Structure 1
């Protein structure tokens, strides 16, 4: 006599196993994509790393690195050029700022798409991603008269505008800020920008012209240093210390120019040489959490001479979704 009891038992058992297996799958909110840069002690990018070379943790719990691949080939970069009063006096300082803006336009990889935003207390001009390199260089040359610039400084508001231009942003896109770090006009706060940069996967890079006359060593400059580091970006700086009759001296010698060029080149390498990591968090986040990422050797020990540049904070999934 045929009985349905045994088949029903097997079906129920199989359904139970399937349910159990489904329950073991990680929550989608535990999955994250992260773009990072890795460099040696000389600032040179490291290539050929795999998941075993990375170790992630969050409050002592492991963050699983499920895959590692080369970062995106096509990148968008918004160049923010501060043209406020403190940047345009003396004329030599303004000339250096324009040289830095022109340098990235000329030397960014061919696969990169660039936009240019000039700002003071307000946005002065925007050249979008559809504008070619030659047109961008021409625009930078045409703003060479510092007397036509000037005014207060809204650095945080300019970063917010760059985020708008990149929206919807893809992980690994960059903002390159050229400024003296003195903000006296913005409505946006650094904390707002930090959250927006991290959740969108956008990295902030900055070249800081440290002028003792403009507050380049003050709290505003420190805020933007921190913002760059926490977003997974980086900062280069050039400082003028000497004052003659109350005016900083910006006459650049060949050796100084070479040092500035090297600092800018290190930033470009970090923008363009990246890894795309897929992460699995140990649990779903209900608030922002700090985490740690290192490159390790075959024994699992951190490489002391290797730096990983990455966003230092992860946000809850609901915030992540809202930003995208």
Structure 2
């Protein structure tokens, strides 16, 4: 089981400086070695932190017993053809091959349809096989339901566990979703799920 640490840290104030309304923050972190091995036995003294650009004292760290989960969203629309599709393939397979197998991973591809390729309970070898087949046999096509795909991914992770995250591989366009951008932003913020974006936009755009 991959440990997830919950840290409490508070701001260190300069002499005469008044405290802001909130000086305590809880943060979830995952710690791996350069070889993607889990680091265990960490204490508050092993961390340094900043809060609003100022040094913060890490008060304590607690291991969360629940495994956090990852949903990879792969844009399969027509604008993702060519080099973008190659980069998407390399990024997706790199994640599946390098992530510890204890982390449940789901993979969703989307164009005008939303397809769940890999579910959270799929064994990693079968997940890699399914993703490899997608990238080798299916050409990117059609329009982009980006916001609807994010909405589907958030629904998959309910109820949310601390540290759950989304990894989106896309050129960032949406032209056919039922959800709109404002709704999606509000839903994502309220979920408190972390989202990482691999944005495939050429340098001349």
Using structure 1 for the length normalisation, give the TM-score.
0.45
Cα distance change of structure 1 residues 55 and 208 upon mapping to structure 2, 3 Å threshold: closer
Deviation at 1:106? 0.6
Partner of 2:161: 170
Correspondence for 1:196 among 166, 181, 187:
187
How many angstroms apart in 2 are the aligned matches of 1:155 and 1:36? 27
Q: Which has the higher contact order (CA 8 A, sep 6+)?
A: 1
How many angstroms apart in 1 are the aligned matches of 2:48 and 2:115? 45
Partner of 1:130: 121
Give SS of 1:102's match: helix
Partner of 1:44: none
1:244-283 to 2 correspondences below 5 Å:
none
Partner of 1:142: 133
Cα distance change of structure 1 residues 65 and 198 upon mapping to structure 2, 3 Å threshold: farther
Contact preservation (8 Å) 2:48, 2:58: no
Deviation at 1:207? 0.8
Deviation at 1:174? 0.6
How many angstroms apart in 2 are the aligned matches of 1:103 and 1:198? 27
Correspondence for 1:76 among 59, 66, 69:
69
How many angstroms apart in 2 are the aligned matches of 1:173 and 1:96? 24
Partner of 1:151: 142
Contact preservation (8 Å) 1:170, 1:201: no
Contact preservation (8 Å) 2:170, 2:199: yes
How many angstroms apart in 1 are the aligned matches of 2:147 and 2:163? 20
Correspondence for 2:101 among 96, 107, 110:
110
How many angstroms apart in 1 are the aligned matches of 2:28 and 2:183? 21
User: Does 2:88 align with 1:97?
Assistant: yes
Cα distance change of structure 1 residues 199 and 171 upon mapping to structure 2, 3 Å threshold: farther
How many angstroms apart in 2 are the aligned matches of 1:194 and 1:72? 29
Using structure 2 for the length normalisation, give the TM-score.
0.68
Give SS of 1:210's match: coil
How many angstroms apart in 2 are the aligned matches of 1:189 and 1:36? 30
C-alpha deviations, 1:238-294, integer Å up to 9, x for none?
A: x4x49xxxxxxxxxxxxxxxxxxxxxxxxxxxxxxxxxxxxxxxxxxxxxxxxxxxx
Contact preservation (8 Å) 1:55, 1:65: no
Cα distance change of structure 1 residues 93 and 146 upon mapping to structure 2, 3 Å threshold: farther
How many angstroms apart in 1 are the aligned matches of 2:149 and 2:116? 11
Deviation at 1:86? 0.4
The structure richer in helix per residue is: 1
How many angstroms apart in 1 are the aligned matches of 2:178 and 2:78? 19
Contact preservation (8 Å) 1:94, 1:146: no
Deviation at 1:55? 6.3
Cα distance change of structure 1 residues 72 and 56 upon mapping to structure 2, 3 Å threshold: farther
How many angstroms apart in 2 are the aligned matches of 1:188 and 1:136? 28
Deviation at 1:49? 4.1
How many angstroms apart in 2 are the aligned matches of 1:80 and 1:55? 31
